[in-house]
Amino acid sequence: MCGIIGYIGKKDAVPIIMRGLRRLEYRGYDSAGVSVLNHGCAIEMRKAVGVLDNLFSAVDKNPLAGPLGIGHTRWATHGVPSSENCHPHFDCTGNIMVVHNGIIENFKELKDELIKKGHRFSSETDTEITAHLIEEALSAGAADLEAAVRACIARIEGSYALGIFRKDEPHTLIGVRQGSPLVVGIGKDEYFISSDVSAIVESTRQIIYLDDGEIITMKTGGYHITDFKGNKVKGVVKKVTWDVEALDKAGFEKYMLKEIHEQPNIIRQNLRMRVTKDKKGVAFDDFTISDDVLKKISKIYIVSCGTAYYAGFTGKYLMEHFTSLPVEIDLASEFRYRKPKLLNENTLIIAVSQSGETADTLASVYEAKGKGCKVLAICNVVGSTLTRESDGTIYINAGPEISVASTKAYTGQLLSIYLFTIYLAKLKGEMTAAAAAALIKELEAVPNKMEKIMRGEQEIIEIAKKYCKAKSAFYLGRGFNYPNALEGALKNKEISYMHAEGYAAGEMKHGPIALIDENFPVVCIATKGSTYDKMISNMKEVEARKGRIIAISSNGDKNVPQIAETVISVPETAEEVSPLVNIMPLQLLAYYIAQYKGCDIDKPRNLAKSVTVE
């Protein structure tokens, strides 16, 4: 939630910050602000409520410039989206400027304390407290901004990434990381801080991923990193290797559509990287959990949120199908609050996350690690907190996912789970080389099948037009495609605001079928497989209540078209692999329904890409 950015150097900070904010907009779009120290060493600031374009207009109307500055895009937590609550925030003198991502949990008591000392607050935010604490420390004699920041963070509790500068130290920008992501870009005589590499990669590819509990002080002539106690820390500079072009829309109207279309190639590339030459197995070059450790695993918990949870849910079906291991799937936000059994060194936690920064997922990982479990991350963002906290990571290599609605990360996560399942099952002697080869062959056929579905996109556009006015929809699936039904419904509701519910088709008769009438669209995943006959029966039950069935059906199927009002045909695929193919029309359907409804597809209301608060 929220994106922060900062710059110090010889260039004008404003265009750098504004371009960076555009990249960070997916993290929140309730308001945005920028503040610089101008060439006359005065602070200037522009703020705007609502989407980032409003800030661009404010800056166009009333330009500002300077070699040092910070910017912020907000997803509101404390205080409504308003000009007062928009970052940057400042102290009583207006000389100390702060941007923040995260939550300061003890802000209320600190605020009361500071009000008693005479501080006047201008916002309802938790963030503002930091500017006032820094002000207090400086008036109490702190040697400089860095010392005052250290005094401030000794008082605050919670999660935070901060960007800070001060009028009276015109050559210093400070970044702090504790529980919220912060990366540092190293340029020639210039430095950048940002919540996300994508916001600074056009300026530099040399990146330091700060760890929790670290402060970076950047001056025009160099930088140093310390821990919260003041001990020197050596920051490791890493090079970003992905293409900057990956951040553009490449001619697509929206990022989401571009990302849907990227899926076949992401799957191809990852299969090329991971499948062994003889095509009978899988190898993970970047994977650091030893075979000995994996062989001892007796229980698996998969923890994740949202779309990543549904990918993990399919993982449960897969791992239970191909191995003898008991596998549980948990919403990360629930895992911590129940009492899961057998959390010990023989338990593997698989944490699935696109961003690697989701607070609930991270909290589950910390909890499990505390009990001695091994942690495997399935993640997209290199260097993210999750990957650093885990014993091993399988990167999904999907490239930056900008659209808030996750698509390519979902299929990337699914593919990684398939590959890990093959690896694990072979390691445990529960999958023969021939069975692995057959499964790999099916996976290798997926990209062409996805492309075939995309060639039928026009048909899906027509279907979206036909159903876009519905108030509500059901998404039904069984077995391997039950999690896919949940994901299809999530895609629909999050981008088109149409109420949609995913259900295990067999559950309909236990209650939800009462809702069905002649206006109710029911999307049924009814491709060939072991639950096909049961699915046909469930569809007949819906048909008997006059529900409007939209069926995802295997090419050439003769039964489904007799029951469904509308059919989307997909290439026939082995049941275990079918989720990768069947999700494609559901993503496209959600996209075009949202387009017909005129929704802001890449930035749905009330959402943020990366949920870094619990």
Active site amino acids: 2, 609
Alpha helices (runs of H) in 250-372, residue ranges in sequence order = 255-274, 291-295, 306-322, 332-335, 359-370
Amino acid at 50: G
Contacts (CB under 6 A) with ligand M6R, residues 296-355: 305-308, 353-355
Alpha-carbon torsion, ordered 143, 147, 148, 151, to 10 deg? -130
Residue with Cβ nearer ligand M6R (191 or 301) = 301
Residue with Cβ nearer ligand M6R (95 or 413) = 413
Residue 540: half-sphere exposure toward Cβ, Cα within 13 Å: 8
- Minimum Å gap between C-beta 70 and ligand M6R is 25
Q: Which residue is closest to ligand M6R by CB? A: 306
- Minimum Å gap between C-beta 150 and ligand M6R is 31
Alpha-carbon torsion, ordered 434, 438, 441, 445, to 10 deg? 180
- Minimum Å gap between C-beta 177 and ligand M6R is 18
* Neighbouring residues of 429: CB distance < 8 A, sequence distance ≥ 6: none
Contacts (CB under 6 A) with ligand M6R, residues 386-405: 404-405
Contacts (CB under 6 A) with ligand M6R, residues 489-508: 494
How far apart (Å, rounded) are the C-alpha atoms in residues 128 and 90?
A: 6
Binding mask 43-82 for ligand M6R (x = CB under 6 A): ----------------------------------------
Number of residues binding to ligand M6R, judged by CB under 6 A: 16
- Minimum Å gap between C-beta 126 and ligand M6R is 22
Do β-strands 31-37 and 68-74 pair in parallel, antiparallel, or remain unpaired?
antiparallel
- Minimum Å gap between C-beta 252 and ligand M6R is 17
The residue within the footprint of ligand M6R, chosen from 194, 204, 270, 358 (CB under 6 A), is 358
Question: Which whole-number Å values give the CA distances from 499 to 53, 93, 470, 522, 584, in the listed order?
Answer: 29, 48, 9, 12, 20
Please report whether residue 180 would count as binding ligand M6R according to CB under 6 A. Answer: no
Please report whether residue 553 would count as binding ligand M6R according to CB under 6 A. Answer: no
Do β-strands 89-90 and 68-74 pair in parallel, antiparallel, or remain unpaired?
unpaired
Residue with Cβ nearer ligand M6R (13 or 303) = 303
Residue with Cβ nearer ligand M6R (355 or 496) = 355
- Minimum Å gap between C-beta 381 and ligand M6R is 8
Output b/e per residue, 266-283; b: 16+ Cβ within 10 A: bbeebbeebbeeeebbbe
- Minimum Å gap between C-beta 593 and ligand M6R is 15
The residue within the footprint of ligand M6R, chosen from 35, 85, 194, 406 (CB under 6 A), is 406
Please report whether residue 611 would count as binding ligand M6R according to CB under 6 A. Answer: yes
Output b/e per residue, 77-103; b: 16+ Cβ within 10 A: bebeeeebbbbbbbbbeebbbbbbbbb
* Neighbouring residues of 335: CB distance < 8 A, sequence distance ≥ 6: 301, 303, 364, 367
Question: Among residues 520, 572, 570, which one has the least CA distance to residue 542?
Answer: 520
Residue 424: half-sphere exposure toward Cβ, Cα within 13 Å: 27
Residue with Cβ nearer ligand M6R (85 or 355) = 355
Do β-strands 374-379 and 392-395 pair in parallel, antiparallel, or remain unpaired?
parallel
Residue with Cβ nearer ligand M6R (198 or 406) = 406
How far apart (Å, rounded) are the C-alpha atoms in residues 388 and 210?
A: 11
Contacts (CB under 6 A) with ligand M6R, residues 198-257: none
Residue with Cβ nearer ligand M6R (376 or 440) = 376
User: Which residues in this chain contact ligand M6R in the complex, by CB under 6 A?
Assistant: 305-308, 353-355, 358, 361, 404-406, 494, 607, 610-611
